[in-house]
Amino acid sequence: MSTQKELRDKFIQQGVQFIDPDTVYLSEDTQIASGTIIEPFVIIGKGVKIAENCTIKGFSHLEDCTIESEVSVGPFARIRGGSVLAQKVGVGNFVELKNAHLKENVKSAHLTYLGDCSIGEDTNIGAGTITCNYDGYNKHHTTIGKECFIGSNTTFIAPLQIGDKALIAAGSVITQDIPSNALAVSRPELKAIPNGAAKIRARAHTKP
pLDDT digits (tens, 9 = 90+) for 3-45: 999 999 999 999 999 999 999 999 999 999 999 999 999 999 9
- 62 close to 45: Cβ distance less than 8 angstroms: yes
Q: What is the DSSP string of 26-88?
A: --TT-EE-TT-EE-SS-EE-TT-EE-TT-EE-TT-EE-SEEE-TT-EE-SS-EE-TTEEE-TT
Q: Where are the domains of the chain?
A: 4-206
Q: Give the residues across from 107 on adjacent strands.
A: 90, 124
Whole-number Å distance between alpha carbons of 81 and 50: 14
Collapsing DSSP states into helix, strand and coil, what is residue 22?
helix
The pLDDT of residue 203 is 86
The pLDDT of residue 208 is 64
Return mean pLDDT, the chain.
96
- 69 close to 52: Cβ distance less than 8 angstroms: yes
61, 101, 110, 205: the catalytic one is 110
Based on the residue annotation, tell me whether 141 is a catalytic residue of this protein.
no
Confidence class of residue 190 from pLDDT cuts 50, 70 and 90? confident
pLDDT digits (tens, 9 = 90+) for 49-82: 999 999 999 999 999 999 999 999 999 999 999 9
| CATH code given to domain 4-206 | 2.160.10.10
**What's the mean pLDDT in 139-148?**
98
